[in-house]
Structure 1
Amino acid sequence: MSSAISDADNSDKVWALMKDVGICMLATRDGEEIRARPMGAYVRREENAVYFFTDIRRHKDDEIARDPHVCLAFADSRGQTYVSLTGRAEVTYDLAKIKELWSTPAKAWWDSAEDPNIRLLKVTPHDAEYWDSPGTVVSYVKMAAAAVTNTRPALGENRKVAM
C-alpha cells in the first residue's frame, strides 16, 4: 500500500467508484443468517450516506431494525472494479428525500413517490475496501505474465479506507 495516497484521496476514490457502479448487493443479518439482495444505490458523498428505496412490506426492514450493521458490495466485473463498504443502516420515512431521489427505476416498484409503502434506507459508512484494476484484458495479460515469471501480478489499487 502506497503512503503517497492520502486518506482523503482514498475516501474520494471509494465514493467515486460506488457512484460509477451504482448497483450493489446489500447484506443484512437475519438472526444467524446473512442475506444479500441487489439494490440501486443513490450515493451522496456530501451527506456521507448511501440511500436506497425500500418497501415496508419486505423483511429487510425488520432485519435492519434488529441489527443495523450492513455490508454493501459493489462490483463491476467488466472494469475489474470492486468496493466493499460496511456501515450502519436506518429505515426512515422522509417524503422530501424520497421525492428528491425519485427516478424512473423506482417506478418499476411503486406508482409514485407518495406510495405509503416506500421507505428510505440510509447507510452511513464506517469503512470500506476497494479494488480498482486496469480492466479485464490487461489483468489477464498481467496474470499470464506473472504465471510465466513465477511472480505476483500487479493488478491495480487495493486500499482499506476509514470512512
Structure 2
Amino acid sequence: MANHTTSNQEAIEKVKELIKDIEVAMFTTISNGKAVSRPMQTQETEFDGDLWFMTMKDTSKYQEILENPSVNLAYSGKSYVSISGTAEFSEDLEKKKEYWNPVFGKLLETTYDDPNVVLIKVTPETAEYWESGTTLKTVKKFAKKLTTKESMGEDDELNDTVEFERHYGSDS
C-alpha cells in the first residue's frame, strides 16, 4: 500500500470532518490489563487536535487513567473513527465552566466548580477511519508525541501517514 504524508492541519481537518456530527465516543481505558469502554460525550466541538471530556474524580475511569493514560476513542456515525491517544486531567475552572451543561448538573448533582469535577484531555497519537463505501484508511502518528518527525517504515501497511508537530508558546 502506498504511504503519503499530509500536514498536521490536513490530519486535524480530516478527523474533524469525520467526527463533527458524532457527539458521543466509546471511551476505552485499561483496568487490570483489560479494556473497559463506556459512552462519553465529547466536549470540544471545534476539534483542534485534542479532545475533551468531563468526569468525576470518584469514578473508576479516573483511577484507570491515573494508572494507565493510554486510551482509545471510538466514534460511529456516517464514518467509523478509532483514535488512540494519551489522556491527562485538567482542573482549569474556566474550561470546565465553558464545557459545563445544565444537564450535567442534574445528572451529576453538582456544579462545574465542584473540586470532584475534572476534565479529561486526550492527545491523539493515531487515528484510523473507515468511510462509508471505502477501504480502511489510517492516519498514522496522529500527533505522535506532537514534536517528532518520524517517518513510516517500509514494513508499515498503512494507506495514509500524518505527522504532527505541536508548537508550544514561550510561556509553557
Check whether TM > 0.5: yes
Distance in 1, matches of 2:20 and 2:134, equals: 19
Superposed displacement of residue 86, structure 1: 0.3
Which amino acid counterpart does residue 96 of structure 1 have in structure 2?
Answer: E
1:106 aligns with 2:110: no
Question: Given the alignment, which residue of 123, 128, 134 partners 1:156?
Answer: 134
Aligned pairs for 1:78-157 (under 5 A) are 79=78, 81-107=79-105, 108-133=107-132, 155-156=133-134
Q: Number of paired residues?
A: 138
Superposed displacement of residue 39, structure 1: 0.2
User: Conserved in 2, the CA contact under 8 Å of 1:19 and 1:42?
Assistant: no
User: Conserved in 2, the CA contact under 8 Å of 1:53 and 1:106?
Assistant: no
Distance in 2, matches of 1:4 and 1:30, equals: 36
Superposed displacement of residue 19, structure 1: 2.6
CA deviation string 1:106-162 (max 9, x = no partner): 2332432112221001100101011111xxxxxxxxxxxxxxxxxxxxx13632113
Q: Which runs of 5+ in 2 are unaligned?
A: 143-172
Q: Which runs of 5+ in 1 are unaligned?
A: 134-154
Give the structure-2-normalised TM-score. Answer: 0.71
Superposed displacement of residue 14, structure 1: 1.0
Superposed displacement of residue 103, structure 1: 2.1
Distance in 2, matches of 1:86 and 1:128, equals: 6
RMSD (Å) for aligned C-alpha atoms: 2.2
Distance in 2, matches of 1:12 and 1:105, equals: 29
Superposed displacement of residue 5, structure 1: 9.0
User: Conserved in 2, the CA contact under 8 Å of 1:89 and 1:123?
Assistant: yes
Give the structure-1-normalised TM-score. Answer: 0.75
Question: Identity, % of aligned pairs?
Answer: 33
User: Secondary structure of 1:21's match?
Assistant: coil
